[in-house]
A and B are shown apart, each in its own frame.
Chain A
Amino acid sequence: MTAAVFFGCAFIAFGPAFSLFIFTIAKDPLRVIILIAGAFFWLVSLLLSSLVWFIATKATNAQDLTLQKDLLIFGCMFSVILQEVFRFAYYRLLRKANEGLAAISEEDGPPLSVREMAYVSGLGFGIMSGAFSMINTLSDSLGPGTVGLFGDSQYYFITSGVTSIALTLLHTFWGVVFFEGCERKRWWVIAVVLCLHLMVTSLSLLNPFYVGSVPPVYAIMLLMAVWAFFSSGGSLHNITLLWTCRKSNTETSS
């Protein structure tokens, strides 16, 4: 649609990821490494699941559209399951690596806590997932035309960007919750994360009915935000502490 839409959608989609990266990841090189490795794990899971989908589509009749749609749904679900499997695999890898890192670090103990690793790996998954879903759309938004000649809504680009924010943040929160569940051996947490991920993916299949897909995804995201906050050591008491701390700061300074 032009440079304005390109930059607008790029800022919408990658704004949160960018700010999280700048303020929490960029200063610590170890976090950067874990972020990139997490993104790579997500990418490998997507590659394998798309290979499966691709073989399935090529092996069947390309003209049968309902069959292709069903294969697409199957492909999406399989991809979700594979992503969660890879998240678990990454968890195991990080736990193993943590022992080695602790041995060579100068400090007493592991340089990164499991909570930090959970957050960083979730963010890695999220950034790569958001980038993957958005880059193709962004490159086409640079041209002079907008979506709509075949009846699609012209808010396509904005909705893509907004969905991309939700996806990035959701992966981050899932990462936190998932690792915490693995630590505490609460396997039902993993099942819940998997189900929520499947639900979000199936909601995206409702597109272009944007009213039906975007608000529920945001609702799930808020729910996950709260859960991740509590599972990573936050509590209401901390929030009130923060609030009074600020108040007392402002009182003492003024």
Chain B
Amino acid sequence: MGLESSKWVIIFLVCWLYKNVSCNSVEQKIYVVLNNTVPCVRLLNATHQIGCQSSISGDTGVIHFLESEADLEWPLSKGPNPPYMVVLESSLFTRSIMMKMKNESSRVAGVAVVIPNTSPPEFSPHTTCPNENTGVYSDNYGPNLAHCNSTVWNPLGNGLSYEEFDFPVFSLNEDNETELIKQCYFDHNRAVNGSAPQYPLCAMQLFSHMHAVTNTPTCMRRNNINYSINPEMVCDPLSDNNVWGSIRPYNDTVFGHKENESVVIAAARLDSRAFFWEVSTGAEGSISGFVTLLAAAQALREVTHEAPPTRNILFAFFQGEAFDYIGSSRMVYDMEKGKFVIDLDNVHSILEIGQVAVHSGTNLFLHSDPVSRRNNTVNDEITNLVKNLQSSTAGLSFLLVEPGVSQPLPPSSLQRFLRARPIPGIVIADHKSAFNNRYYESFYDNAANLNLTYPSNLSPEEQLEFVTDTAKSLTDVATLVARALYKQAGGDESKVNTIKADPKIVTQMLYGFLVSSNNSWFQAMMSPDLQDILKPSPPQYYVGVAMSSTPTRLVQYLLANFTGAATNLTQSQCQKPDELPNESRQMYSYLWVQGIVPPNSTQRDSFCVRASVRLTRAISPAFELGEYASKDYSTWTESRWKFIKARIFLVASRDLEMLTLGVGVAVLFTFLLLTYFVSSKADVLFSSAREPASAAY
């Protein structure tokens, strides 16, 4: 072992040690970092900013657990140690309390909301009139129906999601961390007998600094400032992909009007939102709708191969509908500009599935637009569609009723189509006028809201297969929709009664979308590369700023499996199908899915699915056109941020801090004087300092 190799040994040793060192520092004595928190983030549109903002170095406040609305006077006026970090139970998370704190925001450092496991009786942070400025009703079109003058769709809405707060608002789950916060509060912050609590006090610091301000035109302008090689982006438009599929395929490279082509569009929305960032389920709001449409597509597969209908049926799933109809406005724009495979003139009629969480014995309602019905042609078509629908309910447990009054359409993608053309259309929903959904666009719109319950002794695989009552009723709706679509597309009347949706598929979808997406059925339907988007919890349905979120991917693969055909192609052929004579990537999309595990082996039976299912970009036309202040299209953007963090610790009194500083300054000056004195008299004090020179060597 020469010098060279021992040098390498030392270097290797030092590197290994560096990697393995862990720091047990003072920081761990002081701070406890909260991991399971969700922030509220800032969103911007053409004119406003909504959401929450913290200062760049976090907002610190003394923790105060709010007991009632009257207790608000402690943090807002009486409490001696402002600013306060107010911790609320969800029953106190109301508009009046949040508005009071917003008005006195100099004394409020932030708010933390404890989300319980059971839902309150009702809660909807959305507005009372969703998407009121980007629907079809305006001062020019049905002015008495615009702005919810005749029907208030979401009367329980308190509009909190659309308020602007200049302090951070975080949500906490009811778990060990919240217990720790409660313990810290009761140990240190309780006022005993009306006197002020003593220092040190328990405090919380929330970091959620958002980079974008004011509105979308401002933040898009700031995005484009090129100061350096990497420009600092401050916001991103909300965008995702729409999923569409059709019975007869279209050539994906030929856009614009198709001669003699008449299409029935069946539409549903995919996304939902909540007050806090990204936690949104939308069980009744959107999942009930798109699961029904997927089941209907699956039910139509057999009969459309045996006896194809005259018109084509196009299944469209729109993303971003919660934010001023991002997906549907983009599809209508593409159709108008000839950038989609069909044109608005090709569209014969539209059937949209809204919130359909029907319980057995109740009715479903068929909403239509009264203004377009003033035209006789459109009215006849709509009446025909209603007749097709009502004749399809034979043997099912509910009736279809038209709401008798001259009522506008509920917020739905159909409204964006009507803005362009008076197309005959119907929206199926479970509410006659106001929503039945008590948790519209909130984080409580989850499986419990759909009464999705499983018997307690089932394993996850058994729960996946168990047909719940919710699944049975949604299956009936899917059967109805499939039959009506087939009739509307001019299919063979004698075959209609053979169309039945499969309750097993519906219940598996409900389990995968609402309970756990990492189940064996979803794993079999998805590609091997996308397995990591499947998690043990349900997916999140917020549209977000990324390319394709989990719900989009899941719906794409499910629709492909339901409407497409399995082929014998190998994996490499599946990626390059154009080399084969009968396959064409322009007509179909080819997806390699993982397949199930057969009972006697461990290898999956993967295969290539050929389906006419495509993704199209769902970003608002305002960003394509550069009209960031557009009044016609959605202009919603999400701000960017560096990091989001929450932690708790104790704070000391100002007096102790100043005492420390005073002591420090005193010590410094004392020693300066002392040392000066001693060093100037050193020759007197240390008289025998100079020793004889010879002693050294």
Contact = CB atoms under 8 A, between A and B. Distances in A.
A44 interface: no
A15 B689 CA distance: 26
Contacts, number: 168
B596 interface: no
Interface string A146-168: 11111010101110010001000
Contacts of B580: none
A147 B26 contact: yes
11 contacts: A4-B661, A8-B661, A8-B664, A10-B664, A12-B663, A20-B675, A22-B672, A115-B691, A137-B26, A140-B30, A154-B652
Interface of B: 17, 20-21, 25-27, 29-32, 58, 60, 184, 200, 202-203, 205, 647-652, 656-665, 667-668, 670-672, 674-676, 679, 681, 684-691, 693, 696-697
A108 B20 CA distance: 54
A149 B679 contact: no
Contact of B672 (A5, A19, A157): A19
| Chain A CB within 10 A, most for which of B32, B202, B696 | B696
B684 A242 contact: yes
A109 B694 CA distance: 8
Interface residues of A, number: 60
B684 A146 contact: no
B684 A145 contact: no
Contact of A113 (B651, B660, B675, B689): B689
B689 to A, nearest CB: 5
B30 A24 contact: no
B19 to A, nearest CB: 12
A24 to B, nearest CB: 5
Contacts of A241: 684
A2 interface: yes
A54 interface: yes
Interface stretch (A31-39, A73-81, A228-236): A228-236
Interface string A180-214: 00000000000000000000000000000000000
A9 B661 CA distance: 7
| Chain B CB within 10 A, most for which of A108, A115, A144 | A144
A158 B675 CA distance: 22
B675 A12 contact: no
A148 B691 contact: no
A95 B651 CA distance: 52
A110 B693 CA distance: 7
A109 B693 contact: yes
B25 A19 contact: no
A232 B688 CA distance: 8
B661 A5 contact: yes
Given A147-B30, A232-B686, A161 B696 contact: no
A238 B685 contact: yes
Given A102-B696, A110-B696, A154-B656, A7 B689 contact: no
Contacts of B29: 147, 149-150, 152, 156
A19 B668 contact: yes
B27 A113 contact: no
Given A12-B667, A19-B676, A110-B693, 13 more contacts: A5-B657, A5-B660, A8-B661, A9-B660, A15-B672, A16-B667, A24-B679, A98-B696, A99-B696, A143-B30, A145-B30, A156-B29, A232-B686
Contacts of A18: 668, 671
Contacts of B696: 95, 98-99, 102, 109-110, 114
A18 B673 CA distance: 12
Contacts of A116: 689
A96 B200 CA distance: 56
B684 A165 contact: no
Which 8 A/B pairs are nearest by Cβ-Cβ distance? A145-B649, A11-B664, A8-B660, A8-B664, A109-B693, A15-B668, A8-B661, A233-B688
A116 B689 CA distance: 9
Nearest to A155: B656
A2 B656 contact: no
Contacts of A233: 686-689
Given A146-B652, A147-B26, A149-B29, A11 B667 contact: yes
Contacts of B697: 98-99, 102
A150 B32 CA distance: 10
Contacts of B659: 8
Given A15-B668, A140-B26, A161-B664, A154 B650 contact: yes
Given A5-B657, A24-B679, A242 B685 contact: yes
Contacts of A161: 664
A241 B658 CA distance: 41
Contact of B650 (A4, A51, A146): A146
A4 B656 CA distance: 10
Contact of B662 (A8, A113, A156): A8
Nearest to A107: B693
Interface in A102-130: 102, 108-110, 113-116
Contact of B689 (A2, A98, A232): A232
Contacts of B679: 23-24
Contacts of A131: none
Contacts of B203: 144-145
A247 to B, nearest CB: 13
A146 B685 contact: no
Contacts of A24: 675, 679
A148 B651 CA distance: 9
B686 A238 contact: yes
B685 A239 contact: yes
A245 B684 contact: yes
Contact of B660 (A99, A144, A158): A158
Contacts of B184: 149
A108 to B, nearest CB: 7
Contacts of B31: 143, 145, 149
A136 interface: yes
Contacts of A158: 660, 663
| Chain B CB within 10 A, most for which of A23, A115, A147 | A23
A149 B17 contact: no
B60 A144 contact: yes
B27 A1 contact: no
Contact of B20 (A58, A136, A152): A58
A23 B58 CA distance: 42
Contacts of B671: 15-16, 18-20
Contacts of A108: 693
Contact of B661 (A7, A148, A235): A7
A115 B688 CA distance: 10
A149 B656 CA distance: 17
A12 B664 contact: yes
A102 B663 CA distance: 44
B191 to A, nearest CB: 19
Contacts of A114: 691, 696
| Chain A CB within 10 A, most for which of B648, B658, B675 | B675
A233 B685 CA distance: 8
A72 B604 CA distance: 54
Contacts of A242: 681, 684-685
A4 to B, nearest CB: 4
Given A19-B668, A235-B687, A146 B660 contact: no
Nearest to A158: B660
